[in-house]
A and B are shown apart, each in its own frame.
Chain A
Amino acid sequence: MALAFRDNLAVLVVVALLSTAYIMPLLTKIRRFRVAEYFAVAMLGLALSGGIYLAREILLHGTFTYAVGGWPAPWGIELSLDAVSGFFLITIGVVATPIMLYASVDLIKEVGSRSRAAWFLTLFLLLVAALCGLAVTGDLFNIYVMVEVATIASCAIVAARNDATSVEATFKYLMLATIGSGFVLLGIGFLFVLTGNLNMNFIAQELSMSWQKYPTALWVCLSFFMVGFGVKSALFPLHVWLPDAHSTAIAPSSAMLSSLAIKGYIIALLKVFYVAVGAKIITRLPITDILTLLGMVAIIAGALFALAQDELKRRLAFSTISQVGYIFLGIGLGNIHGLTGTFMHILSHATTKALLFLAAGAMIKHTGKSRISEMAGVGAAMPVTVGAFAVGSLSMIGIPLFSGFVSKWQLLLGSLANGNYLAVLVLVGGSLLAAAYLLPVLRMAFFERPLQKPVVANVSYVQLAALLFLVVVIISVGVVPDGVLQLASEAATALLGLEVLP
């Protein structure tokens, strides 16, 4: 049997990135370091185009599955390619490519030595490959493996610089993330015992017939998943590792972790809840209400914590906690607009937060100041970088014409459709708070007179190109959201429509 190119593309995206990860140590040994970095950027770009091609195929010809090794579904590992996978693959490519480009400029100086930088490239690509794996897989145990790879890789790139604070943050992250993995594994174990399957579509079929027989076991299992993935994606009361890890890492690591790594776990949670357990069962259980509530608390609490921070990267890290709240709110709403909003927010927060962290990294590096109160007059010294930061801030607040508006609008529609007026209030309040914690940075950078003599900063053109790429993505998603929005709502329909009738 001859398989179409697009079928193999599903697995080739992951395999190509994994292979690139292992080519990195070889390439850095025999060629100049720059060559390896540009090779990595090129492969990420290829993965992005592969993702776009796959998403287009999925939109045109519907979902398809791929049996790895030729073993069919209940026995072998099955990749299931639906709009969710396409959407997340595009998100990964759009964000990871500019981050890698940004990192390529002064990676060796940032992490300390050439061999460490080589390992950084390897781990970065492993993380991206694991996230792509999470996007395409349809198998629960495969999800667990990918989650583990992503966790270890993201812990390691937090510690890339190897100074005391980042190692301490990594240790904290590693411990909590391991506990999270344990919960996830227990949850998978429960589902396996309840249904005898690891393939998510088979679990859905099995559960739709028998879930009423084991309500308590299902509850326990779902709570395990919620806590496990909640720890890893920094859902509010479980977020304690995030501020340290994201603020002490080097700028590309923070951008990668904050924008993509935590989203991978959210995609995994979505797949487990809406595909494996099924929308029909999930929306009938109060677990969605818990997610909505936690999301709302996270939006407000994360924003309030962010307000209290003076260190720029810490403020951005707490902002991530607040924005993760929006995503969980959408998951909890459980209707088409809510889930579309969730997907759009995954994309818009990924691009926006990557832009903010990268711009903040450049600002901190060139001024030598990490506190917002010391940033007076930075805007005059590096107008493009701070301008990019401004675009990121506006998108994060949710101003129309920026991508953040599109996602928040969908979430708003979702809340209204559920008659959840508290959520509407929280969404608006969260945006106001976002303005309150992001705009002072811009005021400080642009409108305050510098205390000492103004700094002169030359950000390299490659880094500026990376920032501008993200700016273009944010604005084009904000101005013409049609294509992405269609893909997102297709993904939401796929999740809600996969229910098997009891």
Chain B
Amino acid sequence: MTDFVLKRMVALVLPFVQMLGLYVIFHGHLSPGGSFSGGIITGLSLIAFSLVFGLERGHEKISERLMGLIESFGALWYGAMGLVGVLRGTTFLMNKGAGVPLGEPGRLFSGGLILLITLGVGLKVASTMVTLFNALMEEEE
């Protein structure tokens, strides 16, 4: 696409979209939204970039290889966080009972493992969205 207005607008808007996505992910345990919606917003920002500036430049920003690694990492991270409870002698995914400090309710760094888990899921969702988009785009060529 060669449209000048579109490119400028996207360049202006994208940082804010990504910021919103990360905000939603990080506040998953405090406010509506969370890892899934935040991950999709973040993923969509990357997709919008690829759509407007072309797939090649999208790959330059984040290579497919890195995307694949992030995708696996997100899922493994969730499993690892779940194992914290098992290693502390309680059940899988146990949070407070496993002795994780919960912090002060309402603060950003509170809720124990939930924040860490949402981070992993957010990364996973965002990278999966981009991978799906890339797969569909490459099919067309």
Please give the residue numbers on chain A whose beta carbons come within 8 Å of chain B beta carbons, in ascending order: 1-3, 7-8, 11-12, 15, 18-19, 21-23, 25-26, 29, 66-70
Report if B133 contacts A (CB, 8 A).
no
B75 CB within 8 Å of chain A: yes
Given A15-B79, A15-B82, A29-B65, check contact A69 B92 (CB 8 Å). yes
Task: Report the count of interface residues on B (CB-CB < 8 A).
Answer: 21
**Contacting pair B76 A11 (CB below 8 A):** no
Task: List the 5 closest A-B pairs by CB distance, nearest first.
Answer: A69-B93, A22-B75, A11-B92, A22-B72, A70-B94
C-alpha gap A247/B5 in the complex (Å) = 53
Decide if A25 touches B68 in the complex (CB within 8 Å). yes
CA of A232 to CA of B65 in the docked complex: distance in angstroms?
35
Chain B positions within 8 Å of A3 at CB level: 89-91
* A470 nearest CB across to chain B (Å): 31
List 18 other contacts, CB 8 Å, given A3-B89, A69-B94: A3-B90, A8-B91, A11-B86, A15-B82, A15-B83, A19-B76, A22-B76, A22-B79, A25-B69, A26-B72, A29-B65, A29-B68, A68-B93, A69-B91, A69-B93, A70-B85, A70-B93, A70-B94
Known contacts A69-B85, A70-B97; is A8 also within 8 Å of B92 by CB?
yes
Once bound together, how far apart are the Cα atoms of A29 and B93, in whole Å?
A: 29
Chain A residue numbers with a CB within 8 Å of B92 are 8, 11-12, 15, 68-69
Bound: A441/B97 CA distance, A:
60
Contacting A at CB under 8 A, from B77-121, are 79, 82-83, 85-86, 89-95, 97
> Given A15-B82, A18-B79, A70-B85, are A23 and B72 neighbors across the interface (CB < 8 Å)?
yes
CB nearest to A19 among chain B residues: B79
Given the known interface contacts A3-B89, A69-B92, A69-B95, the answer about A18 and B83 at a Cβ–Cβ threshold of 8 Å is: no
Contact between A68 and B91, CB atoms less than 8 A apart? yes
- Nearest neighbor of A12 in chain B, beta-carbon distance: B86
Q: What DSSP secondary structure best describes chain B's contact surface?
A: helix
Q: Which residue on A lies nearest to B80, using beta carbons?
A: A19
Contact partner, B69, options A12, A29, A68, A70, Cβ 8 Å:
A29
The minimal Cβ–Cβ distance linking B140 to chain A, given in whole angstroms, is 16
Does A8 lie within 8 Å of B86, measured CB to CB? yes
**Cα–Cα, bound, A29→B89 (Å):** 34
Min CB–CB distance A438 → chain B (angstroms): 41
Residues on B with beta carbons closer than 8 Å to the beta carbon of A7: 91
Give the docked Cα–Cα distance between A29 and B65 (Å): 9
Chief secondary structure at chain A's binding surface: helix
Query: Whole-angstrom distance from the CB of B30 to the nearest CB of chain A?
Result: 19
Question: What are 13 of the A-B contact pairs (CB < 8 Å)?
Answer: A1-B89, A1-B90, A2-B89, A3-B90, A11-B86, A11-B92, A15-B79, A15-B82, A22-B79, A25-B69, A26-B69, A26-B72, A67-B91
Contacts of A23 in B (CB 8 A): 72, 76
Q: Whole-angstrom distance between the alpha carbons of A67 and B90 in the complex? A: 10
Please indicate the chain A residues that have their CB under 8 angstroms from the CB of B68 in the complex.
25, 29
Question: What separation, in Å, do the CA atoms of A8 and B90 have in the docked complex?
Answer: 8
Given the complex, which residues of A lie within 8 Å of B75, measured CB to CB? Answer: 18-19, 21-22
CA distance A66 to B93 in the complex (A): 12
B54-77 interface bits toward A, Cβ cutoff 8 Å, 1 = contact, 0 = none = 000000000001001101110110
Complex alpha-carbon distance, A19 and B68, angstroms: 15
Q: With A and B bound together, what is the CA distance between A23 and B91 in angstroms? A: 23
Contacts of B82 in A (CB 8 A): 15
Query: CA A22 – CA B79 in complex, angstroms?
Result: 10
CB-CB under 8 A from A1, the residues of chain B are: 89-90
Nearest B residue to A21 by beta-carbon distance? Answer: B75
B125 to chain A, nearest CB (A): 14
Give complex CA distance A7, B94 in Å: 14
| B94 vs chain A, min Cβ distance (A) | 4
- Find the residue from A1, A19, A21 having the highest chain B CB count within 10 A: A19
- Residues in A neighbouring B65, C-beta threshold 8 A: 29
Q: Contacts of A21 on B, CB cut-off 8 Å?
A: 75
CB-defined contacts of B91 to chain A, threshold 8 Å: 3, 7-8, 11, 66-70
CB distance from B10 to the nearest CB of A (A): 30
Contacts of A19 in B (CB 8 A): 75-76, 79
Chain B residues with Cβ below 8 Å from A18 are 75, 79
